[in-house]
Amino acid sequence: MKTIEPKSVTPIAETFPPPSISSWNHHHVLDLDDFTREEIELTLEITDAMSEILTREVKKVPTLRGKTIINLFYEPSTRTRSSFDLAAKNLSADTISLDASRSSIAKGESLIDSLRTLRALGADVVVMRHSQSGAPYLAAQHVNTSIINAGDGWHAHPSQALLDLYTIRRHLGKLADLKVVLIGDIKHSRVAHSNIWGMTTMGAKVTLCAPQTLLPYGLADFTNQCHIPNISIEPRIEVAIKEADVVMPLRLQLERQQSGLLPTLREYIHLYQLNEKRLSLAKPNALVMHPGPVNEGIEISLEVAHGAQSVIEEQVTNGIAIRMALFYLVAGGKSNET
Amino acid sequence: MRPDLLIKNALIIDPSQKTDRVADVMISQGKITRIGEKGTVPVQKDSIIIDVAGFVVCPGFIDLHCHLREPGFEDKETIATGTRAAAAGGFTTLCCMPNTNPPLDTRATIDYVKQKAEADGSVHVLNIGCLTKGRQGKELTEMYELADAGVIGFSDDGDSVASSRVMHLAMEYGRILHLPIIDHFEDNDLANGGVMNEGWVATRLGLKGIPAAAEEIVVARDIALAKLTGARLHIAHVSTEGSVELISNAKEKGIAITAEVSPHHLTLNEERIMGSPARKNKYLTYDTNAKVNPPLRTKKDIAALIQGLKDGTIDAIATDHAPHTSVDKLCEFGLAAFGISGLETALGCLMNLVHEGQLDLITLISKLTCEPAGIIGTKHGELGTLKPGCQADITIFDPNKEWVVDSQNFVSKGKNTPFDGYQLKGKVMVTIVSGNVIYHDTSIKIEGY
Amino acid sequence: MPEKTLMSPVDIERALVRVAHEIVERNRGAERLVLVGMQTRGVPLAHRLATTIKNLEGIDNPVGSLDISLYRDDLSSLELKPVLHRTDVPTDITDKHVILVDDVFYTGRSIRAAMDAIMDLGRPRSIQLAVLVDRGHREIPIRADYVGKNIPTAKSEEIQVQVVEVDGEDKVIILQPEKEVIDEND
């Protein structure tokens, strides 16, 4: 209760529905493991509004004018970085992309020092990609600039999982009770990990399909300890994919074969490639998704990648909308954490 | 003439003599001269008297495994700071590992450390010599020469001896020295690149794990070689249930094997990496202070280790004190150095087990005193005992004193501890080395110190 | 807070009918109009105006909805961000007369933001503003072309428009401050 005093700026709240993103509780976006169902819903809703902007001729709104968003990428990436960059620019923020190999980071500057420098330069949000799991958590502990994790080691890639959820809901109208099948290198895939959190939170049932050497260690223990429901493992693709609503083959990195986790690519393709024959075992309107970049002919056949059920390209467009939503949520307002 | 020291009202627990009674202890000229019933010990005129009513008095702790970092890594620790930290932790004898720079693989380097310890050290420092030249795991060091220089054992600690052939040779060659060979039990192939225990926490954090088998394979191999050669084998920092089982079986067969475990492996499991109970974290942490080799394992492993202590499978507790600078630890988990600065928190966290009823006090003290002394042997005097006539190395601690760990206040240069902020119950109050009070808690006033 | 009803459902109905007539009169017919309602209550009002205009002239004009959260000038000072609704203007507005429809006209800042948003969607022939209630206290030089009712107010008072489509009933009420302290909510 306060006595009212004449204010020089009267907020225009009276002509609006009252501001109410009280369910949003994140200064950083590090992984989906601590997102409630409401927070994911909220993000998807805002993404909807953002995707409308992407249909306009002038894809720009002034929302983050004057804010600075810095991309700090320790791992090379064209698609994700461009996606974040465009998202920031669409919201009229100023953006800079730092490529670790060509900056002071390569000269041995520590991660924390680099972040402090960026904060001193006026960064409001730092988008970070790093090859070491946990790097953005270290950053978040020591610097209070908002951090958005664009991928850390094997650990998490929250914006990718969110855009996957958004894409699925756009086509299938819901997420609860859907059967989602992830195929391939689950162990080393941060996309798979964040998707496991996100999808199970929204009520989907996730099936993991991979050879044992590409499955995370102690999965049963992990799902138990972390109370993750609705996960099953099925190493045979023909069984896993039956009646699936969403099929998501993951990129197989060639070094997996080189480091001995697989005998040959040939055997992997023989056992796990998503081709038309196998896809026909899924539901007729099942979605084919892929985090990209796609290794055509390896984890997915050319026909399926470019087929009618593939939404791979749309995922890329949705990625920009999701990232705009995240920037809006994290940066579009007074920082409420010191 | 040094004044005599009288310790009054001591609750003396000396497992070496099976003592557990209240008495007074008289120290003169650096030796324990007399232990007697309250008031029966005659006192010289200018003796210093310390009343330790309520405290436990036991032989000074012996640490079979610690890293003093000198020569070569003086920014992490020096013999001076490391031994002072030892005193603060109640340790009166340290066995320091040779993975320095240069490594201690020749008489000259061992003598250097001996000299430095003589000059700068606050407690007794004993040496462990390298097993192979440069710790490369290829050629044996001059084991006889090193033994002559006084080493109490051989180790390439930090690295495993990858070649079974080399280990076999080392055991054969050095067998008649009767000094323990201390391997670092980690199969490189399996462990390569791993940064924590292989398990559900590693999956949660997206980190590469070191499976328990990586330790057990080398333990099994070395046991087989020890059986073959009759050499003495000492298992450093045991961490898994499987290893405990292997050691137990080997002992049953009469193989000359001893083993040690660290305080952190007895009290912390892998979940500690995700966050500290002493701090409220909003997000997951990747706590590099809990990054250690061998890694923190599971609750099941801890239960097996404690049982191993109780039934004698594990002979001693050793800190594996591994100080690092903040630069080495304040970075991404995968890049951080392995190691815990453990001398100053050892007693406190071990007392937790006593207070919880998992271990009794006498067993704990024996694992820190007479048992390690037994492994070292008597070449350097009679250690780990309060027998009258012996060197006065004494630890006095308050088993109930509550204190909060603050790494910034550590005597050691290494502030890397997973126990930071923990409330512990049990603290060293006075440490006496060769009859001199080397350390005392600020709450105690001792005349002349 | 004590409240007083200033417009009954019949008052609102009459005002909207008159405004619809004025729109048709000013624009000499109902061709090339696009009615854009401001989220939230401006939207049903825009639909009602479109219906009335259709009854008058027989022409079906497109109706859109506009969320201006992304154009607000006060985002930085808000503790919590507004929930975004999708902007949905189903037609090209270039060369059309855009009739912005809002429930309460106050400082003018939301209309400024709305004009920025409209300009991002195309190049209209004109933008005209229709409001149900004008409560005064402009902070920006913007005026309304069509006003349902002028209600002079004190800054400490609050005007609330309720519409059947959102609130279950039609009415316009004024809320006066209590004697000493005011609950500064929402």
Please state the domain extents for chain C: 9-75+84-153
- What is the helix (H) or strand (E) element at residue B303, kind and residue range? helix B299-310
> Which residues of B does the annotation mark as catalytic?
320
CATH number assigned to the domain covering A158-315: 3.40.50.1370
List chain A residues with CB under 8 Å of B285. 137, 141
Domains of chain B, earliest start first: 5-57+391-440 (2.30.40.10), 60-376 (3.20.20.140)
Length of chain B: 449
Chains B and A touch (3+ CB pairs under 8 A): yes
Identity of the residue in C86, C139, C159 whose CB atom sits nearest the CB atom of A49: C86
Size of interface A-B (CB pairs under 8 A): 80
Q: Model confidence at B272, in pLDDT bands (50, 70, 90)? A: very high
- Mind listing the pLDDT tens digit for each residue in B43-62? 777 888 899 999 999 999 99
Residues of A in contact with C184 (CB under 8 A): 1-2, 4
Note the pLDDT tens digit of each residue in B355-374.
Answer: 999 999 999 999 999 999 99
Q: In the structure, what pLDDT confidence band is assigned to residue B42 with cuts at 50, 70 and 90?
A: confident
- Going by pLDDT thresholds of 50, 70 and 90, the confidence category of residue A332 is low
* Fold that domain A22-157+319-331 belongs to in CATH: Rossmann fold (3.40.50)
* Interchain proximity A217–B283, CB inside 8 Å: no
- Structural domain boundaries of chain A? 22-157+319-331, 158-315
Nearest CA in chain B to A192: B206
E strands, B280-348, in order: 316-317
- A partners (3+ CB pairs within 8 A) are B, C
Q: List C-alpha distances in Å: B36 to B11, B384, B385, B388.
A: 12, 19, 16, 10
Asked if residue B418 lies in contact with residue B264, where contact means CB atoms within 8 angstroms, the answer is: yes
Complex-level ipTM: 0.90
Using CA atoms, how far residue C110 sits from A6, A307, A319, C104, C115, in Å, is: 20, 46, 30, 10, 9
Q: Quick one: closest CA in A to B210, which residue?
A: A217
Chain A residues touching C120 at Cβ < 8 A: 56, 58, 60-61
Chains that touch B (3 or more CB pairs under 8 A): A
**Percent over 90 (pLDDT), chain B:** 90
Instruction: Note the pLDDT tens digit of each residue in A108-123.
Output: 678 898 899 899 989 9
pLDDT, tens only, C25-70: 999 999 999 999 998 899 999 999 999 999 999 999 999 999 988 8
Contact B333 A154 (CB under 8 A): no
Mean pLDDT, residues B21-27 taken together: 92
Q: What is the pLDDT of residue A17?
A: 34
Mean pLDDT in residue range B19-23? 91
Nearest in space to C132 (alpha carbons), one of C17, C28, C2, C24: C17
Q: Which residues of B touch A225 (CB under 8 A)?
A: 200, 204
Cβ contact B333–A226 (<8 Å): no
**Could you give the CA distance from residue B391 to residue A233 in angstroms, rounded to a whole number?**
64
Cβ proximity of A286 and A309 under 8 Å: yes
B59 CB-contact burial (10 Å; exposed 0-12 / middle 13-18 / buried 19+): buried
B chain contacts of residue A219, beta-carbon cutoff 8 Å: 200, 203
CB contact (8 A) between residue A133 and residue B283: no
- What was the pLDDT predicted at C80? 67
Domain C9-75+84-153's class?
Answer: alpha beta
pLDDT at A259: 84
Mutation for C interface: A3, A9, A12, A46, most C CBs within 10 A: A12
Q: What average pLDDT does the segment B319-346 reach? A: 96
Q: Which residue of A has its CA nearest to C161?
A: A15
Question: Do the beta carbons of residue B372 and residue B62 sit within 8 Å?
Answer: yes
pLDDT in tens, A14-41: 333 333 456 687 899 999 999 999 999 9
- Name the pTM for this structure: 0.89
Nearest chain A residue to B197 by CA: give it. A217
Contacts of the segment B15-20: beta carbons below 8 A, 24+ positions apart: B15/B362, B15/B363, B15/B365, B15/B366, B15/B369, B15/B370, B16/B59, B16/B366, B16/B369, B16/B370, B16/B373, B16/B384, B16/B385, B16/B386, B16/B387, B17/B385, B17/B386, B17/B387, B19/B386, B20/B362
Same CATH topology for A22-157+319-331 and A158-315? yes
Per residue in A199-241, pLDDT (tens digit) is 999 999 999 999 999 999 989 999 999 999 999 999 999 999 9
Nearest CA in chain C to A3: C181
> Over chain B, what is the mean pLDDT?
95
The rounded percent of chain C whose pLDDT value lies above 70 is 91
Chain C residues with beta carbon closer than 8 angstroms to that of A63: 69-71, 75
Instruction: Name which of B204, B209, B332 is nearest A132 (Cβ-Cβ).
Output: B332
